[in-house]
Structure 1
């Protein structure tokens, strides 16, 4: 049975730096879905707190987080090749060694490459909200997603989501509030204040100037 994709593959022109990132950075930082279940302690050469980000875009936030927390390890997944190249080029430029990258469907990576109860955090920042009602089935945040993420988080691990589209924030809250094995970390069981550890993007700053809101949700695996 064909699974519904939450993303669309877009063609994009590569800059010189992005292509250099793919050519030179992928052998150092790239991981392949077909390699299956990974021992990330072996991959990174240490045991450290581990964050998994779905859809890192052009990689700016992931680079900033990795540079700010060298004691932590990060696994980023993105299907858009220019974004992958940009992140890889940034890793080389900043001489960062605490990030590994997949370029494929993040849900497939979670299913086949990540051990159960092995992640400290999973990040989903500004996923495609699929505005039209007939496209809502494409939204990544669904009950099956919540259960898959719960399996991969350690007990006490946190799913952190952010969106600038209020109807999607409400959808996320509804799905996660009904999902078993989670606790909402918001004091009022709604949305958390903007966390300092989430870097601000240029789109978010532009949205703030235009009066748009951003909603952050944090759900902790409780069982």
Structure 2
């Protein structure tokens, strides 16, 4: 993996096929960029004060999970694309014994989640700012996670953009590689075409066993508890929510 950094201080996008020596499909992301957004004065102050403890930026530093959370022997779940963190913060008190790491590019989204973390004293949430696929490959050891969540990823509905979707054969392989045996991958979408896309990939990764939905004996919390902003928009348009669960073999 090339560790040289761009002029913006971020590592270049990984050549996944070379790194993993395969010909699988990975999201075509172009340059890894941070989505811009404006924080309020209070959000900026809160972010500046708490980010050094609660947050990390995309880098080539492998995260020491036990050290970061200040505890050992606890399950760890990574949520890719946590948005404004509505469901992240709502689920956290119900899984207090689980370390939750929210990964998101959008700084205002992370700032909103941080506000909930600080106000509600949610000590089991940490945050990483960066592209989720890059964060997984650069910052987490293989077989280090108990769960991965991808809730309502960008559907990239235009056919020419389908290759930008995060759910691809290569990313499913990457997800599986970061999960421990028995670890759980949970995906949800409210976009019918994306659901059809995922349906074609359900069995593509041989180390992931598809468990369907619901999976009553799932070893981790699967009830998202609240209607997220994007899910709410989907329901307003009478979209069907489709959920998927896999277990690492």
TM-score surpassing 0.5?
Answer: yes
1:181 paired with 2:212, answer no
Q: Which residue of 1 aligns with 2:162?
A: 136
Superposition map of 1:78-157 within 5 A? 78-157=104-183
Give runs of ≥4 in structure 1 deviating > 3 Å: 6-10, 191-196
**Closer, same or farther: CA 74–181 of 1 in aligned 2, 3 Å:** same
Q: Is the 8 A contact 1:59 1:86 kept in 2?
A: yes
The number of aligned residues is 218
Please report the TM-score for the alignment, with normalisation by the length of structure 2. 0.80
**Do 2:59 and 2:135's aligned partners in 1 also have CA atoms closer than 8 Å?**
no
- Among 48, 54, 59, the alignment partner of 2:74 is 48
* Deviation larger for 154-163 or 2-11: 2-11
| TM-score using structure 1 length | 0.89
Work out whether residues 59 and 84 of structure 1, in 8 Å CA contact, stay in contact via their aligned partners in 2. yes
In structure 2, what is the equivalent of residue 201 of structure 1? 228
Q: Which consecutive unaligned segments of at least 5 residues does structure 1 have? A: none
Going from structure 1 to structure 2, the CA distance change for 1:10 and 1:114 (only over 3 Å counts) comes to closer
Aligned to 1:175, what secondary structure does the other structure show? coil
Structure 1 residues 57 and 98, CA gap change in structure 2 (3 angstroms): same
Gaps of 5+ in 2: 1-11, 16-27
Residue 19 of structure 1, CA deviation: 1.7
**Whole-Å separation in 2 of the counterparts to 1:8 and 1:170:** 28
1:162-215 CA distance string (max 9 Å, x none) = 0000110121121232211111112xxxx5489852132144234334421110
